[in-house]
Structure 1
Amino acid sequence: MRIQELPQCAVAVDLAILTVREQALQALVIERATPPHQGVAALPGGFLLAGETLEDAAHRKLTQETGLDVTHLHVRQLHAYSDPGRDPRGRIVSVLYVALLPDLPLPAAGGGAATATWRSAEELLAQPDELAFDHHRMLTDAVEHARDSLSYTTVATTFCRPEFTIAELRSVYEVIWGARLDPSNFHRKVTRAEDFLIPTGKKTATDGGRPAALFRAGPATRLHPALLHERHPRTP
């Protein structure tokens, strides 16, 4: 019996690693060291090797191209991109992994990257031709996923100090959502969410202003009820 010849197709992984730095949502990008798109900014990534799982490849490429310690990074698979013309080298399907994490260090370039750095996600998304391949679309999907995660999970508290004010938590939402939030409505929603925040009974020190109550993260990992994702842009 003749075995059917399989079509030629390579599999790649790309990574959208997002964090909050300098009061902005930032994405980890590299400068490609080799063609195609040599010298152009891109998301970290590369090809799946024989014997690897997609998760193995994602962690390997992140380590090789950025030097980040991947042992504490939890990346999740978001979407696959299969446009036949997405890569000039041939038929390549790429699987996107995404993470939204606090306190990530400065990366160090290596492997197929000439440089690795943090860049403003907002600025990258405002320039569709800034990123190689279809990485602008990938970053768009990753940022939208990150914003949605704040609606349904308690991840925002990981970007705060162990004890924080509602205003500090609101700032995280405003940075990642890219929107100004009404302080009173936000306070009401987050304090009513089940097991989201726990009052410490303490207040901030003050230099003449009104002290603010301090909270810590509660045991919940999902928000009930969910917070609506604010989609209007921030204003000065």
Structure 2
Amino acid sequence: MSERQWLREYDPRSYPPFAVTVDLAVFTLRGDDLCVLLVRRGEYPHRGRWALPGGHVLHGRESADDAAHRELLEETGVDAWRSNAHLQQLAAYSAPDRDPRMAAGLQVVSIAYVALAPGLPDAVAGTDAADARWTPVGAVPALAFDHDRILADAVERVRAKLEYTTSALHFVTAPFSLTELRRVYEAVWGRSVEPANFRRKVLATPGFVSPVDRAATAPGRRGGRPPELYGPGGAATVDPPIRRPM
């Protein structure tokens, strides 16, 4: 049998219904807190409960990555293709009991993503949500579906990547001071970081940060020493790693 013959005879109704969704763990810093975007579901299932934002992958029209970018733009107004936002696939979640619709025979698999961006605006509920808010990761209520697990995995991913990558730079806008950068680590890790040791490690890592002309960033400033400011240095990894305080 040729492939063309096989396609003519292929009957998708022979297989159980299947849906793919994307869920987004969107993080930003608000004050001294690492916050995640939550939405209150306006539709069933789990109507009225808080959840991570997300939605279905449009069948035959987009990839999971495209759906994640679309959902991030719809939920936050952030275009990850054209901004300092960072969007990365986290994991796939497919437990048989993860979605109530599975009881009706629909297999629902979610591909979760982590998004990082600096200074995101106040949350605004989308068309299918009753409410939206930024919530400190330490004050998140019980979430719908398996979003508690997804969020826990996402938080640990973000915390771990700060040790060996320059992902902290996605939480700040250049130019920034090393104090601002250190506060990112403290907010994400929930631990104090010793300033002098942090400064030494950052400046000793080739390509982590790049000095910015202080005079150019403070035109018209008179008297006093302008602050030392930096921008991204182009490196993606930190070697040796900056270890989390225990």
The residue identity in structure 2 corresponding to 1:148 is A
Give the Cα–Cα distance (whole angstroms) in 1 for the partners of residues 10 and 175 of structure 2. 63
Residue 219 in structure 1 maps to residue 228 in structure 2: no
* Higher helix residue share: 2
Give the C-alpha shift of residue 178 in structure 1: 1.2
From 38, 41, 48, the equivalent of 1:39 is 48
Per-residue CA deviations over 1:53-110 (Å, capped at 9, x if unaligned) read 112322333444x252435444221100010000111121100011111121123212
The equivalent of 2:120 in structure 1 is 104
The equivalent of 2:100 in structure 1 is 88
Give the C-alpha shift of residue 138 in structure 1: 0.6
Give the Cα–Cα distance (whole angstroms) in 1 for the partners of residues 211 and 77 of structure 2. 35
Stretches of structure 1 lacking an aligned partner (at least 5 in a row): 204-210
The equivalent of 2:57 in structure 1 is 48
Report matched runs for 1:44-193 at 5 Å. 44-51=53-60, 52-64=62-74, 66=75, 68-70=77-79, 72=82, 73-90=85-102, 91-124=107-140, 127=141, 130-160=142-172, 162-193=174-205
The residue identity in structure 1 corresponding to 2:236 is R
The residue identity in structure 2 corresponding to 1:121 is V
Say what the alpha-carbon RMSD is for the aligned residues. 2.8
Give the Cα–Cα distance (whole angstroms) in 2 for the partners of residues 82 and 23 of structure 1. 34
Structure 1 SS opposite 2:70: helix
TM-score by length of 1: 0.81
8 Å contact 2:211–2:230 — kept in the other structure? yes
Residues 46 and 159 of structure 1: CA distance in aligned 2, closer, same or farther (over 3 Å): closer
Structure 2 SS opposite 1:145: helix
8 Å contact 2:178–2:230 — kept in the other structure? no
Look at both structures and tell me which one has the larger radius of gyration over its CA atoms.
2
Give the Cα–Cα distance (whole angstroms) in 2 for the partners of residues 231 and 94 of structure 1. 33
8 Å contact 1:26–1:120 — kept in the other structure? yes
Q: Percent identity among equivalent residues?
A: 41
Which 10-residue stretch deviates more, 100-109 or 38-47? 100-109
Structure 2 SS opposite 1:89: helix
TM-score by length of 2: 0.78
Give the Cα–Cα distance (whole angstroms) in 2 for the partners of residues 222 and 103 of structure 1. 22
Stretches of structure 2 lacking an aligned partner (at least 5 in a row): 1-5, 216-224
Structure 2 SS opposite 1:75: strand
The equivalent of 1:207 in structure 2 is none
